[in-house]
């Protein structure tokens, strides 16, 4: 007597052995998709951190007694890279003897790089992703008030080159 094979069982066995293979393929494909989205997704928003760090560095420059040198070469006396400031969307303004609000519109500043400092006053558009991020601080150096305005609108993208 010859044994007949159960064809239904054979189909079920083939499906059961293919399940782990398809599950593994799904996990690998999901990992590739998630990794691509994370790498090529939106860029880092470091505008506020840039403005804060630059403001901090200028405060340190003023507090370290470089007041006489500032009227000369500001970049050299404060150890700033001139090309990085001028070629990127970075603003610096240092005013002597005036408050923060007056420094924004002040024409005679100790140092100024960039333009449109009035954008630092706009409050309603600060949630806009294309908006300039500013840091405005006042410090006293030897009894003299200095207002420092720094801003950055430098967008950093990941995985793309210009």
pLDDT tens profile 16-44:
677 778 888 999 999 999 998 888 777 67
Structure pTM? 0.67
Tell me the C-alpha distance between 8 and 59, whole Å. 81
Per-residue pLDDT tens digits for 59-75: 888 888 756 666 667 78
């Amino acid at each position: 007597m010859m044994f007949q094979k159960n064809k239904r069982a054979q189909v079920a066995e083939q499906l059961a052995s293919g399940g782990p293979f398809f599950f593994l393929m799904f996990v690998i494909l999901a990992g590739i998709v998630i990794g691509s989205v994370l790498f090529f997704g939106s860029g880092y928003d470091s505008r506020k951190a840039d403005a804060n760090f630059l403001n901090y560095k200028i405060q340190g420059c003023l507090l370290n007694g470089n007041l006489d040198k500032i009227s000369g070469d500001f970049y050299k006396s404060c150890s700033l890279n001139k090309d990085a400031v001028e070629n990127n969307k970075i603003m610096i303004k240092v005013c002597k003897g005036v408050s923060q609000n007056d420094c924004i519109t002040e024409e005679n500043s100790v140092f100024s790089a960039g333009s449109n400092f009035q954008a630092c006053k706009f409050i309603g558009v600060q949630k806009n992703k294309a908006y300039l991020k500013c840091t405005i601080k006042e410090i006293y150096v030897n009894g003299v008030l200095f207002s420092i305005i720094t801003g950055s609108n430098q967008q950093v993208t990941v995985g793309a080159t210009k």
